[in-house]
Structure 1
Amino acid sequence: MAVIRVKVDSKPQPDSDPKPESSPTSLSLVASNPALLQAVSGSPVTFDQLAKYKSNFDHDPKNKLARRALMKDSYVSVLENTELVQSTPAVFNNKTKIEGKITNQKSSGRCWIFAGLNVLRLKVMEKHNLETTELSQTYLFFYDKIEKSNWFLENIVNTLDLDLDSREIQHLLTDPIQDGGQWDMFVSLVTKYGVVPIEAFPDSFHSMNSRQMDELITTKLRTFAKDIRNSYSAHSDMNQVHEIRKAALDEVYRILCISLGVPPQTFDWTFYDKDKAFKQVSGITPLEFYQDHVGIDLNKTVSLINDPRNPYYELYTVKHLGNVVGGVPVHYVNLPDEQLKLLASKTISEKKKSVWFGCHVGKFSNRTTSVLDLDVIDYNSGLSISFDLNKAERLQYGESLMTHAMVFTGVQLENDATKRWRVENSWGENSGNKGFITMSDRWFTEFVYQIVLEYEDVPQEILDVMKRDPVVLPPWDPMGALAQ
C-alpha cells in the first residue's frame, strides 16, 4: 500500500509571536482558492441528525443490553455463536495418514514457512517411523531475510529511473524485510538452502519476536536505498551502486547471525522412532537432508488461487513479489472456488496428503475459536448489522486479502460434497481446538484464496496454463499481501 504523507502546519503556541494583520487567514485562503473550497464543501453532520440518530438508538431496548455487554468485552467474545460452535464437530471422514505435533510461530509472521514445513515434515515422519518431528523454521527465516534484503536492493537498482515519490518506490520502501511470504518463495528457499531439523537450528528470541530485528534491518535497508539512489544520481556508476549493495548485505548478514545464530553447513541428527529405536544421521548438509529425507520435488508444485476479480484459467504474478534473485517466480493459476475445493478434497481423501493454503484468517474468527464460519460471530444480534460485499468486492475495496497460511489435514465429505475442513494452524496448542480449527465450507468459499498441490494431483489442462505468459498484477495487489 502506498504511503501518503501530508504536511500539516503546527498551531502557534501561546508564547508565539502573533501573525501580522496582513497575513491571510485560513478562511481567506480557502475563499481565494476554488480547489480548496471544493475540497471542504459537502454535507456536514448536523445536530438535528445526531439527535435523530440518538432517538433511533434509544428506541430499541436491545441496544442498551448490547451496549452494557460490549463496552466491557470484545465483539468476538460477547457475540460468539456458541450454538454454532457446539454444533460443528471436529470430526472428519477423510484425514491425512499422520499429523505432527502443533507448532507455534509466536510473535512473528512466519506462518508461510511453518505451513510449508508442516507439509514437508510428514514425509520425514513417514520415512523414519516418527511420532512427530519439527523442521527448523528459523533456518529458512535466516536465509529469507538475507535474500529479501538482496531482492529489495536489486529492485531499488532496477527502479533508479523512477521518482522517489512514485507509488512504486514508496511501495518498495514500505516494508522491505517483512516476515511474510508466498509458496513459490518457500520453494526458492528450500531448493537453494535445504532444510534442517529444529534441533540443528533452534528458535532464538528474535525469530520468535521478530519486530525489533525487522525494524533494525528495515532502517538499514532504507538508508542503503538512499545511498544507492544518491550515488547513481551523482556518478551514474553502476559498479559503485553494486558495491553499496554488497556492503549492505554484509551488514544484514552480521545482524542476522547475532540475532538468530549462524546456520549450520553440516549437522548430525539423532532421534528415537516410534519403537524407541535409536537412530542417527551424521555429517549431512541441509540440502542433502531435503533431498534424501524429505524427497518432495517442490519444483513440481503449483499455486492455485480463487480471485473472482480476474478471468479464470489464466496465469498471474505480482510485480516485485519474490525473495530469491534467480529463484522460482511467484505464479498463480486462477480457478473457480469450487474447483479449488474439489482438488483439495481429492488430494486429502484419495492421496492422504496435507494441503498448504492461504486465507484471510482474521475474518469471523479469533485466536481462541475452534470454528471458522460466517456466523460464528453474531454481529446482527449484537449490533444489528450485516455485511453485503461479495468476495470480488472485498478485494476491490480493500476489505479482504491473504493474511495467513495454514494446512488442510482433513475434510468432511457428504454425498461427495465438501461440508467442513480440518485445519492445522501454527499458533500453539492453546489456540483453537488444541491447535486445530474446523472451517466451514462457506468460509472456504469467501476467505480462502490459494491452495498448493503437486503436479500429480492437478489435471493437465490446468498445468498447461502455467506455460503461458503471466498477467502482471500491480505490486500492491491483494494477491501479494501474504508476503507483505
Structure 2
Amino acid sequence: MDKKSVTNELIERCSKYYNSDINNKVYSDAVIRNGLVDVALNHEAVANMHYHFSEEIDVGKVTNQMKTGRCWMFGALNCVRYSISNSLQMDEKNFELSQNYIFFWDKLEKSNLFLENIISTIDKELEDHEVIGLLNSPIHEGGRWGLFTKIIEKYGVVPKYAMPDSKASEDSKTLNQILNEKMRQYAKVLREMYRQNNTIDSIRDKKENMLIDIYNILCHFLGEPPKTFDFEYRDLNGVFHRDRDITPLDFYNKYSKVKPKDYIILVNYPTDDKPFGKTYSLKYHGNVVDDEPIKYLNVDINTLKELAISQIKGGEQVSFGCDVGKMSHREFGIMDMNLFNYETVLNTKFTMNKKERLMYKASGSAHVMTFTGVNLVDGKPNRWKVQNSWGESAGNNGFYIMSDEWFDEYVLRVAINKKYVPEEIIKAYEQEPIMLSPWNTLGPVF
C-alpha cells in the first residue's frame, strides 16, 4: 500500500473546514489566551459536586508524595496508618508512616527483580522485544497494592520519624537516573559473562555484589533503614506510651490491623482478551522475587462499587487505581464526566468507550488513591470522597470528589478485604492466573 503525504490540497481543505464555522475562531481565541481547561470548564458541574457524603471515614490529614511516583505507597500506607492510629486512639492528627522506608526496600527489590529478569532472558539477543522492554524501564517507580503487600510483609513499616523523607525521596528524578544507568551497566556485564561461558551460579554471585553496590547507593540517597526504633505516642487520655527497640516487622505485625495479604485485587478491564471471572497476571510484573504471582480478578464495574461501599461502611478505606488525568481538575479536586465541554469548545467528538480506550492505550491505571466516603441515594452511589496524596493545596484540603459516572469510566482496580467479599468471588480469585504479556493493557501506564 502506497503511503500518502500531507498535500497542499489537503491543507487547504483543513483551513476551509476550520474557517467555515465562526465559533471555531471565537473558541480558538479563548483557548489561545486562557488555555483549554479554563475555557471548557463547566461551572454547573462544579456546583453539583459538593463535599457531603452519607458514609464517611474521618482519616485525618492527607499526605504529599511530592515529585515522585510513590502514590501507591502513600495510598496503601494511609490505610495502614489509620488502622494503627485509630486502634490505639492516638492523640496525633499528623501521625504518618515512613514512605521513605518502603521506598528504599522497593528500589532494592526491584533492582534484584530486574537483574533476575536479565538472567532469565540472558540467552536472547539484545534486539529481542522482551529484552528491549526490560532495558527501556529497568527500575520504574510505579506500583500497586500487590507490590506493597510484598514489601510490608517482608520488611514491616516504621513511623515517619524513624526514617524521614530525604531530598531524593521527595524528588526522585536523579536517583532514578542513577539506578537505571547502573541497571543497564549491570545487564551488560551479566550478559557478557554468559557469552564468556560463565555458569549461571557465578553470574548470580556477581549479581549479589551488584546489589551490595545498589544498597550503598540507596543509603546515600535515602539513608539506611533502621533495624529497630522506639515507638512513642500519647493517647487521647493523655497517657504516654513507649515500645522500645522494636523491629519494623514486629511493629507492623503487632500494631497494624490492616494486613494487605488479607485483601484481594479486583479489576474492571472490559476488553475482549480478559473475560470476567478469570484471574490474570503479567510477565515480569512485581518487585520481590518469589513464587507467588501478583494477580487480579476481572469483574464487572458494579461489583467493584458494591464491595467498595461495603468496606467503607465497615470503617475501612479502599485503595484504588484509576486514570486520574482524565476529566479531572486538580485545583478544584473534582473528577466528573461533565466537568469539561471539550467537544463544544474544540468542535470535535470523543467517541471511545472504556473498553476501546483500554484496547487502544488511551487509558490505563496511572494513579492510586483511597476512597474514604460515598454518598448513597436510595442505596445507590452518586459521588465518592477520595483521599489523594498531592498535599493539602489540591482539592478540598487534599481530598477529591468523584462522580459515580467517572467511577464507571476511569476506576480500574480496588483492593478489598476478604471479609467483605462473597465466597464465590473468593473462589474465583483462587484460580491460577492467566499470564499476560508485559505490555498488556492490564499493565501500568508510565
TM band (smaller chain): over 0.9
Partner of 2:171: 209
- Tell me whether 1:103 sits opposite 2:69 in the alignment: no
Query: For 2:42 and 2:242, how far apart are their aligned partners in 1?
Result: 50
For residue 269 of structure 1, give the secondary structure of its aligned residue in structure 2: strand
Do 1:373 and 1:439's aligned partners in 2 also have CA atoms closer than 8 Å?
A: yes
Cα 1:402–1:118, aligned 2, differ >3 Å: closer, same or farther? same
Partner of 1:118: 78
Superposed displacement of residue 480, structure 1: 2.0
Partner of 1:436: 399
Superposed displacement of residue 296, structure 1: 2.6
**What is the Cα-based RMSD across aligned positions, in Å?**
1.5
For residue 355 of structure 2, give the secondary structure of its aligned residue in structure 1: helix
Superposed displacement of residue 293, structure 1: 1.0
1:358 aligned to which of 321, 336, 341: 321
Aligned residues: 442
Question: Which moves more between the two structures, 421-430 or 328-337?
Answer: 328-337
Query: For 2:405 and 2:413, how far apart are their aligned partners in 1?
Result: 15
> Deviations 1:211-253 (Å, cap 9, x if unpaired)?
1101101000111011111110111411221122112111110
Partner of 2:330: 367
For residue 190 of structure 2, give the secondary structure of its aligned residue in structure 1: helix
Partner of 1:336: 300
Superposed displacement of residue 71, structure 1: 1.4
> Deviations 1:375-425 (Å, cap 9, x if unpaired)?
212102211122111111111111011100000000111111111110000
Partner of 1:248: 210
Do 2:343 and 2:350's aligned partners in 1 also have CA atoms closer than 8 Å?
A: no
For residue 442 of structure 2, give the secondary structure of its aligned residue in structure 1: helix
Query: For 2:430 and 2:241, how far apart are their aligned partners in 1?
Result: 44
Cα 1:73–1:253, aligned 2, differ >3 Å: closer, same or farther? farther
Runs (4+) off by over 4 Å: none
Partner of 2:189: 227
Superposed displacement of residue 149, structure 1: 0.2
Do 2:145 and 2:260's aligned partners in 1 also have CA atoms closer than 8 Å?
A: no
Matched letter for residue 362 of structure 1: G
Question: Which moves more between the two structures, 236-245 or 206-215?
Answer: 236-245
Q: Which aligned pairs between 1:259-338 and structure 2 lie closer than 5 A?
A: 259-309=221-271, 310-326=274-290, 328-338=292-302
Q: Which has the larger radius of gyration?
A: 1
For residue 480 of structure 1, give the secondary structure of its aligned residue in structure 2: coil
For residue 281 of structure 1, give the secondary structure of its aligned residue in structure 2: strand
1:79 aligned to which of 28, 32, 40: 40
> Deviations 1:338-365 (Å, cap 9, x if unpaired)?
111111112112x121100001111112
Query: For 1:457 and 1:404, how far apart are their aligned partners in 2?
Result: 24
Matched letter for residue 108 of structure 1: T
Superposed displacement of residue 298, structure 1: 2.3
Partner of 2:23: 62
Do 1:81 and 1:377's aligned partners in 2 also have CA atoms closer than 8 Å?
A: yes
Do 2:311 and 2:417's aligned partners in 1 also have CA atoms closer than 8 Å?
A: no
Query: For 2:192 and 2:402, how far apart are their aligned partners in 1?
Result: 51
Structure 2 unaligned spans of 5+: none
- Percent of aligned positions that are identical: 38
Superposed displacement of residue 278, structure 1: 2.8
Query: For 2:104 and 2:285, how far apart are their aligned partners in 1?
Result: 19
Query: For 1:444 and 1:61, how far apart are their aligned partners in 2?
Result: 36
Superposed displacement of residue 269, structure 1: 2.4
- Tell me whether 1:180 sits opposite 2:145 in the alignment: no
Structure 1 unaligned spans of 5+: 1-37
Query: For 2:159 and 2:119, how far apart are their aligned partners in 1?
Result: 36
Do 1:185 and 1:328's aligned partners in 2 also have CA atoms closer than 8 Å?
A: no
Superposed displacement of residue 328, structure 1: 4.5
Partner of 1:156: 118
Query: For 1:433 and 1:385, how far apart are their aligned partners in 2?
Result: 32
